[in-house]
């Protein structure tokens, strides 16, 4: 990722080496945004504006934002943008979230969560 793109998001948690993540999902959400931008789904300006709108809405709703929620806003902005760009639908996102949830509940502790572990998916694909 170029420093120009990173500099367009001054609130992003970072240290001297670049972005920092507290949980694996934060890095994955970050990577999805970078990959979808690289594929041309949206411009970096569109992304920065969508993320800014999401953060401002959350601040208006709760009155403050400690920064811990940054990647939750990132994920919400990503969902909003892929729906507005018609890369998916709200129903498609909801179905995928449910499938991941079922897969997580069906995955033994310590094992990687994979969509193939969704029991509903196995039943409909069998």
Tokens for 59, please give them.
């601040």
Distance CA 50, CA 28 (A): 18
Could you report the per-residue pLDDT of 9-53, keeping only the tens digit for each? 556 666 777 777 888 888 899 899 999 999 999 999 999 999 999
Domain boundaries along the sequence of the chain:
23-88, 90-126
pTM value?
0.73
Say if strands 14-15 and 18-19 run parallel, antiparallel, or are unpaired: antiparallel
Return the pLDDT at 103.
94
């Amino acid at each position: 990722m170029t420093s120009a793109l990173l500099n367009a998001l001054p609130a992003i948690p970072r240290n001297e080496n670049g972005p920092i993540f507290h949980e694996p999902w934060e890095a994955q959400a970050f990577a999805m945004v970078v990959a979808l931008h690289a594929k041309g789904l949206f411009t970096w300006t569109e992304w920065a504006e969508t993320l800014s709108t999401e953060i401002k809405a959350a601040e208006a709703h709760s009155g403050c934002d400690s920064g811990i929620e940054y990647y939750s806003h990132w994920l919400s902005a990503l969902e909003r943008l892929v729906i507005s760009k018609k890369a998916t639908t709200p129903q498609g996102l909801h179905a995928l979230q449910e499938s991941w949830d079922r897969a997580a509940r069906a995955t033994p502790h310590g094992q990687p969560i994979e969509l193939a572990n969704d029991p509903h998916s196995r039943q409909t694909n069998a």
